[in-house]
Chains A and B, each alone.
Chain A
Amino acid sequence: MSDPSAIEIHGVAKRFGRKQVLDDLNMIVPAGKTFAFLGRNGAGKTTAIRMLLGLLKPDRGTVRVLGMDPQEEPLKVRQRVGYLAEDQAMFGWMRVSEMISFMAPFYPTWDAAWAKDLANRFELPMRTRTRHLSKGQGVRLGLLLALAHRPKLVILDDPTLGLDPIMRKEFLRDVVTYLQGEQVTVFFSSHLLYEIDAVADSVAILDRGRIVRQAETEDLRNRVKRLIAPAEAQSVLRDLPGLLDFALADRQVTAVVEDIDAALPVARSSGASIEVIDLNLDEIFEAYVIGRRKEQPDAPAHLERVA
């Protein structure tokens, strides 16, 4: 029976020197879902991912990946997980075919026919040395290496970094959609929100080393809204429950709230006309990591499990 959670992280903290990179990180990734792990550059995403692979030891807390502890069984975890690192370096002198042959013996479940199929699908030049590959070809090769052993969990750490917009769209359309079809859990780290908006089932937003919100994408879109009201309503809107962002401009106030069901009745109590605006994931993310800091600079980050 497969584990219902592909990844479980509880109370994880990590410090580098004087900088607390992760602080009480909690996260659960359901199996078979595409999970977007969002955070600004330097938020601690890569640190968390390295812990998932047993490459870094948490100072405290527990991590479980596919039911295993990456610190106890790092090799087993890495054999079962497909990992594409951010800006993954290849051995430049190796040809693409050599790179594939080099990697295969490390994975007991390596499927050579599948690797060949992927190489054809990705149009990889097998005789070319990896140092001569374009950025897009390099990412596709990395992806082939991450998928050829048919992992149940694929961890993609900002995989589209450095790709042009067309390539990013292709990557998401072809790869993530394919993985979703295969029931593979995809753990997708990114700071480019618009690109994961269409593919992520769930998201977790990481800020200052903590998860400030984890929810299903659809639920997040349904709950987090922007309210627009005349300036006279500002005193009421300022005190809305779950206020993430607030701005006053052009005799209008705008407020972003994290739960429209709780905030709307309060906003309407002002008697002013309230306009409710839908937000995309990019705007929601911005409200959490920029607006929330502005409105609640001392607020402790919290985990709200919705998914």
Chain B
Amino acid sequence: MRQLIWKEWHEQRWKLGFGCVVLCAFALIGLRTRAVPDESIMVGTCALGVLLLPILTAAGLIPAERGEGTLRTLLALPVAPWKVLAAKAILGAMLCAGPILAAAIVSLLMARGREISNGATWEIYGRAVAVALFLFAWMLWSTARSPSEGRAAALCVGVLILWLLATRGLVAETHPARNGMAESHAPFMLWAICPFVLVFPPADFAPMEALALQAVTVAVLWLFALRALKFGAMEEQS
């Protein structure tokens, strides 16, 4: 397992650096110029991270290796496929969460208690990390059988658009001020398993329930990805 994580780290670490530079620069410049309220800058930084990082990460994990043919090499080793997937998931989680947390630290250093409290700052970034991780899980699932990085990136964008459409862009027409997903017209299960529910939870929906539902969904997605990794990669005729 250590070897697998070492391999993933070497292949993916540039994304961590890239994500950190982009998000920290965005937060730094925004909070320094103070063109808009601090909260808007932080939410904007989070939105950038949530939209960018899961796509960048998920597309480069399984599909990139499948495209290069190294996934076949990897799965022919005496190592359980779940470990291969777990190593990728761990690195993916780091790549999604790391830059957002780095931006959170920059935000705290730049605007500690200036307009919003430290607790509120952490809450904004914490929710963004949660959404990024759950989006990553969805994207990892959707790209598990994808043959190339390019197609995987398109699929990831599709997943993102699907959730935005399913939740009407997170803003219910009837209650625009509340951003209330509970009042939106999306079917129950669809919004309940939408990663964005963690940012805009409905009034009658406990955060722990939302989190539990997300966790169950991710577990199902993970099992699918494992199955796709185990058999899908190999099922080509000679």
Q: Residues of A with Cβ closer than 8 Å to B?
A: 16, 19, 21, 41-50, 53, 55-57, 74-76, 78-79, 83, 85, 87-94, 102-103, 105-107
Quick one: which of B3, B68, B69, B79 contacts A75, CB cutoff 8 A?
B79
Q: Are B79 and A106 in contact (CB under 8 A)?
A: yes
Q: Residues of B with Cβ closer than 8 Å to A?
A: 2-3, 6-7, 10-11, 68-70, 72-73, 75-80, 231, 234-238
B198 vs chain A, min Cβ distance (A): 36
Quick one: which of B69, B77, B234 contacts A56, CB cutoff 8 A?
B234
Q: Are A78 and B76 in contact (CB under 8 A)?
A: yes
B91 vs chain A, min Cβ distance (A): 15
Q: Are B237 and A44 in contact (CB under 8 A)?
A: yes
CB closest residue in chain B, given A51: B234
How far apart sit A85 and B238, CA to CA, in the bound complex (Å)? 12
Q: Are B238 and A55 in contact (CB under 8 A)?
A: no
23 pairs from A and B in contact (CB 8 Å cutoff): A16-B236, A19-B237, A43-B238, A47-B238, A49-B238, A50-B238, A53-B76, A55-B76, A55-B234, A56-B235, A57-B231, A74-B78, A79-B78, A88-B73, A89-B68, A89-B69, A89-B70, A89-B73, A91-B11, A102-B6, A103-B77, A105-B3, A106-B3
Q: Are B237 and A85 in contact (CB under 8 A)?
A: no
Quick one: which of B10, B78, B80 contacts A107, CB cutoff 8 A?
B78
Q: Are B237 and A47 in contact (CB under 8 A)?
A: yes
Which residues does chain A contribute within 8 Å of B7, judged by CB atoms? 91, 102
How far apart sit A106 and B6, CA to CA, in the bound complex (Å)? 14
Which residues does chain A contribute within 8 Å of B234, judged by CB atoms? 50, 55-56
How far apart sit A48 and B238, CA to CA, in the bound complex (Å)? 9
Which residues does chain B contribute within 8 Å of A16, judged by CB atoms? 235-237
Best-surrounded residue of B2, B73, B238 (most CB of chain A within 10 A): B238
Quick one: which of A44, A76, A91 contacts B238, CB cutoff 8 A?
A44
How far apart sit A119 and B6, CA to CA, in the bound complex (Å)? 23
Q: Given contacts A21-B237, A56-B234, A102-B6, could you give 4 more A-B pairs where the C-beta distance is less than 8 Å?
A: A75-B78, A90-B73, A91-B11, A91-B73
Which residues does chain A contribute within 8 Å of B78, judged by CB atoms? 74-76, 78-79, 106-107
CB closest residue in chain B, given A56: B234
Which residues does chain A contribute within 8 Å of B73, judged by CB atoms? 85, 88-91
Q: Are B238 and A21 in contact (CB under 8 A)?
A: yes
Q: Are B235 and A91 in contact (CB under 8 A)?
A: no
A54 vs chain B, min Cβ distance (A): 10
CB closest residue in chain B, given A74: B78
How far apart sit A89 and B233, CA to CA, in the bound complex (Å)? 14
Quick one: which of B11, B69, B238 contacts A45, CB cutoff 8 A?
B238
Q: Are A78 and B238 in contact (CB under 8 A)?
A: no
Quick one: which of B68, B72, B236, B237 contacts A92, CB cutoff 8 A?
B68
